[in-house]
Chains A and B, each alone.
Chain A
Amino acid sequence: MLALNPQTRKKLARFRKIRLGYYSFLCLSALIALLSVAELFVNSRALIVHYNDTLYFPTYGSFYPGTTFGQDYSYETNYRELATTFDNSDSDHWVLMPFVPYNPYENDAKGGIMRPEAPDFSAGHFLGTDTTSRDILARLVYGTRTALLFAFAFMCSVYLIGIVIGCAMGYLGGLFDLFFQRLIEIWSNIPFLYMVIIVFSVIPSAASIPVRIGILLSVMVLFSWTSMTYYMRTETYKEKSRDYVAAARVMGAGAPRIIFRHILPNVLSTLVTFMPFTVVSAISAITALDFLGFGLPVPTPSLGELLQQGTANLRTAPWIVTAAFGTLVIILSLVTFIGEAIRESFDPKQFTLYR
């Protein structure tokens, strides 16, 4: 229904014309597509192992113990070592490693000492290693993926709550509106960052890492949904007084139907405009929290943790901060460019000039 709307189609065409935004959109999409299968590019597990005339694909799924490939240990195969072993033997076994043959957790101290090492193409550390000799590129890739995933999940949850409550306030009005306005006024005056820090230091999280990320997400959503409600409330108020809403009501449509089928598509432009900026703020927030040490649990790779390491080792290991900061700048710029383009193309006043 949305795609067929000629108005929308026009907006999309306009979006495509805004080159910076459009290409940013393509870049980001490609990046997300790549990141979603990051295991194929950045991994300590091999892509393909050819052993005894059988092909193994260890990337996804359960692990292969060393014994599978004739090694003398029962823990997960070290595929980099396996590759060297095969190369040095006369057999026709072979191993195909990913582009970056490291995972974000392993300490790969080449010189026997864990310390930041500068980028080294021959070792496969394209952006160097961090303070405990972990591959920075691997940590960046998985850290960025977590941040983006987190940001989108954050955006969806915030919008879901914001839209439902905001629309309800605008549509129902009266006491309901009054009550929620006061509630939101109080709620939004609680400083968000402090609350996250306080809540997080109180919850002893013995759970697994995904659960702990989930807790962080819900705490952040809990204190961030308010800002969206006001926009939705005013928009709904405006739309509610339009004739088509009255017509729908006369025809017997219920409140949910009117809100979601009639009003919502018409206020979508407001919504879409805000989306990229919410993503930006979510990425910044999670990075900031990580930087302060209140974000994702160790040893989850994250941009904030890398930034923190980088600033602590500015003199001795500038490549850490460069990598993390560069990535952050690129991602945030891309999203912001997209946001600007969407705002411009969805703006009903086509020739508005902000001066």
Chain B
Amino acid sequence: MKLKLYLALALLILAACGDSPPQEQSRIIDNTEEVQQYYKDHPDFFSFKTLNDVPSNLDWEDGADLPEVGSSNAVKGGMETVRLADFPRTLRTVGPDSNGGFRPWILDYTSMALAHRHPNQLDYFPGLANRWAVDQDAKTVYVELDPNATWSDGVPITADDYLFIFWFFRTQYITAPWYNNWYESQYTNITRYSDHMISISIPELKPDTDSKVLELRPLPRHFYSEVGDDFIERYQWRFAPTTAAYLLKEGDLKKGRSIKLTRNADWWAKDKKHWRYRFNIDRVNLIVIRDTPKVFEAFKRGDIDQFGLNLSEYWYEKLPNTDADVENGYIHKKWFFNERPRPPYGLWINTDRPLLNEKSVRLGIQHATHWQLVIDQFFRGDYDRLNTANDGYGPFSHPTLSARPFNVEAAMKHFADAGFVERGDDGILMREDGTRLAFTVSSGYESMKDILTILKEEALKAGIEFRVEVLDGTAGWKKVQEKQHDIHFSAFGYSLELYPRFWETYHSSNAYDKAFLEDGSVNPERKSKTQTNNLESFAVFEMDRLIDQYRQASDSETMIKLAHTMSELHHDEASFVPGFYSGFFRLGHWRWIQYPADFSFKHASGPSQYFVHWIDQDIKAETLNARADNLPLTKTIEIYDQYRTAPSP
């Protein structure tokens, strides 16, 4: 990341030395015809029909019975100051540099899709759609759009804005190969019946067929009419009309320093059920503070309203329960246990490497990594041991498999099986031919380097050397994508999905080109495949077969059974050392920030994700006065463990 920044800086300086920008900036682009032509060129994909063509026997759903999100006590108003770790490099939500820490504020957490999963129930509640119906046989989802929905500039949202996304995300102009691929391979048809009725088809039927369609977000067709080969520069700093409650107004963006978002008083969904008690704060002031310790100081001064206390050092030491502000009740502490797919933090072993392709070496590594020590002493027992790479998927996760414990004897026995018997002068095991049992453990997580040094120290006991290599985030990711790693410490951020994916991480076609011959034996000439998420170079013929079955299966029961079998197979191969997960999030906030009675939601990933909190101005004044006079208020430290999954230690 940093590297890119510096290169960009260098280019900027070079560019500044050049002549004034060419005339091209003012070139007029209108892609209307190009888009229409594209629709015409792909008649199978873009269909145009009438309302009479909509099947009459559809089973419509509207999610209207789902409970409200947020509290009816919420009041609108106030300004909240939030920290940004880095200033966004663009206001685009797609294309180079767009996937940063700011994007959730204008896209992921704030803008509306057709429907959203209820954070407690997982069923869908309506967003831009009025109602929807799944036609199982045709693998098609019919959606009736809410006719009241408008963009923030007042333009109504119609079916055309949905057709448009299948042009936009497939063009080369946006320089986003992942989007190109996704929108080309995951959908097979979009049909326009009227301004407010569409249907979208997908290639495979799934238990959650609806999610792929309902989580689509439209694009303002009128705003993107200038998309062309200069898309990246042209849209770099333009704020797109949005379906979200928050707007970026002219002059509220101070480059490199802050961005102020304003609540849209005329937001079309402001009285809509599931939406009306959310997005309560009038102004969100996002300021750039790079160092976390400085953010904490700003929080303690009251400049920042909330501060995440996930890290033990903050929860226990920097803001202990005995802290004056906590003791006096000015700052409240909250600890919330959630239930959702757990990011699989652990060691991903590249089985394509020498030594690591031997199962006994991998089994030895499983027993030589002391995760329990990391959890007990570094995370102070707050985190839990991950047992498989797919924990947190309810019935889809394996119920009984458990990670192998740290055990020097067991590890050394496995290493001995691989021929590593004698210890060298430095205590590292060696083969008779002098091969040392040493591997590079790399990671792109600067903040977790201490974990790796702890593992390294403990692994020495079992006679294995870990050479710790801590890289910058981008460099670390590039390394594993190029499959240049021995062992990599990392995790995937899984979104809220019903069931785990196996194809991306364990299918042989993501590990090698032509991994197996026709009869299932290993192809001796296979070549490693880069740029995939199969970080273990995992290729087992049986696994491929199971994954194919899993992908074709459409009922939950079969899929659960298959998922368990695959987890067992993966466990047996020992190519992933499960690390830890945190089954909760923690927060410290000033007293004037108010939350609903339950605080957060079963499947939430963080306290602010659903924007249900609000600011009480009276309480703010009261708190500030009390603090000035040093008057104690009610001390509040609350633990919400109704959704706790792991038993208490």
Contact = CB atoms under 8 A, between A and B. Distances in A.
Interface string B41-54: 00000000000000
Interface stretch (B61-69, B141-149, B447-455, B537-545): B447-455
A314 B453 CA distance: 23
Contacts of A315: 318
A73 interface: yes
Contacts of B467: 206, 208-209
A206 B484 CA distance: 10
B473 to A, nearest CB: 10
A235 B291 CA distance: 47
Nearest to B7: A198
A113 interface: yes
Interface stretch (B166-174, B357-365, B373-381, B602-610): B373-381
Contact of B460 (A76, A113, A198): A76
B427 A204 contact: no
Contacts of A205: 469
A198 B6 contact: yes
Contact of B318 (A105, A201, A204, A316): A316
Q: Is the interface of B mostly helix, strand, loop or mixed?
A: helix
A63 B424 CA distance: 9
Nearest to A78: B461
A107 interface: yes
A131 B380 CA distance: 13
A169 to B, nearest CB: 29
Nearest to B440: A206
A312 B3 CA distance: 24
A107 B484 contact: no
Contact of B456 (A206, A299, A314): A299
Given A114-B377, A208-B467, A132 B446 contact: no
B449 A298 contact: yes
Nearest to A76: B427
Interface in B437-474: 440, 442, 446, 449-450, 452-454, 456-457, 460-463, 467-472
Contacts of A112: 376-377
Given A112-B377, A132-B378, A107 B457 contact: yes
Contacts of B3: 197-198, 201-202
A307 B210 CA distance: 53
B437 to A, nearest CB: 13
Contacts of B446: 293
A74 interface: yes
Interface string B395-431: 0000000000000100010000000000101110000
A197 B2 contact: yes
B313 A131 contact: yes
A75 interface: yes
Given A73-B461, A298-B449, A298-B453, A314 B2 contact: no
A209 B475 CA distance: 19
Interface string A281-313: 000000000000100011100000000000111
A183 to B, nearest CB: 20
B352 to A, nearest CB: 15
Contacts of A73: 408, 461
A299 B471 CA distance: 13
Interface string A57-78: 0000111010000000111100
A14 interface: no
Interface residues of A, number: 39
Given A74-B412, A113-B380, A132 B460 contact: no
B317 A316 contact: yes
A107 B377 contact: yes
Contacts of A106: 457
Contacts of A133: 377
B453 A75 contact: no
A194 interface: yes
B276 interface: no
B479 interface: yes
A311 B442 CA distance: 26
A209 B3 CA distance: 23
A93 interface: no
A114 B376 CA distance: 9
Contacts of B293: 311-314
A298 B457 contact: no
A160 interface: no
Contact of A297 (B7, B457, B469): B469
A208 B380 CA distance: 31
Interface in A85-121: 105-107, 109, 112-115
Contacts of B479: 204
Given A75-B463, A198-B3, A206-B440, A115 B313 contact: yes
Given A107-B377, A299-B468, A311-B293, A75 B475 contact: no
Contact of A299 (B426, B440, B453, B484): B453
A197 to B, nearest CB: 7
B475 A298 contact: no
B588 to A, nearest CB: 15
Contact of A201 (B454, B456, B468, B475): B475
A243 B568 CA distance: 88
A320 B454 CA distance: 20
Contacts of A115: 313, 316-317
Nearest to A206: B440
Contact of B377 (A76, A109, A311): A109
Contacts of B2: 197, 201
A286 B475 CA distance: 22
Contact of A298 (B412, B462, B468): B468
A278 to B, nearest CB: 26
Nearest to B316: A115
Given A75-B462, A197-B6, A311-B293, A297 B470 contact: yes
Interface centre among A194, A201, A209 (most CB of B within 10 A): A201
A200 to B, nearest CB: 9
Interface string A35-63: 00000000000000000000000000111
A314 B7 CA distance: 33
A74 B426 CA distance: 12
Contacts of B463: 74-75
B484 A105 contact: no
A76 B458 CA distance: 11
Contacts of B462: 75
Interface in B62-85: none
Interface string B549-589: 00000000000000000000000000000000000000000
Nearest to B460: A75
A62 B425 contact: yes
Nearest to B10: A194
B453 A297 contact: no
Contact of B454 (A76, A132, A316): A132
Interface in A111-147: 112-115, 131-133
B428 to A, nearest CB: 10
Contact of A107 (B452, B454, B461, B469): B454
A42 B442 CA distance: 29
Contacts of A114: 377-378, 450, 454
B450 A132 contact: yes
A347 B313 CA distance: 54
Given A107-B453, A204-B479, 16 more contacts: A76-B460, A105-B453, A112-B377, A115-B316, A132-B453, A197-B3, A198-B3, A198-B7, A201-B2, A202-B3, A202-B475, A204-B484, A206-B469, A312-B291, A312-B292, A316-B313
Going nearest first, the 3 A-B pairs with the smallest beta carbon separation are A62-B425, A299-B453, A75-B461
12 contacts: A73-B461, A74-B412, A75-B462, A105-B456, A107-B377, A114-B377, A132-B454, A133-B377, A197-B6, A204-B479, A298-B468, A312-B291
Interface of A: 61-63, 65, 73-76, 105-107, 109, 112-115, 131-133, 194, 197-198, 201-202, 204-206, 208-209, 293, 297-299, 311-316
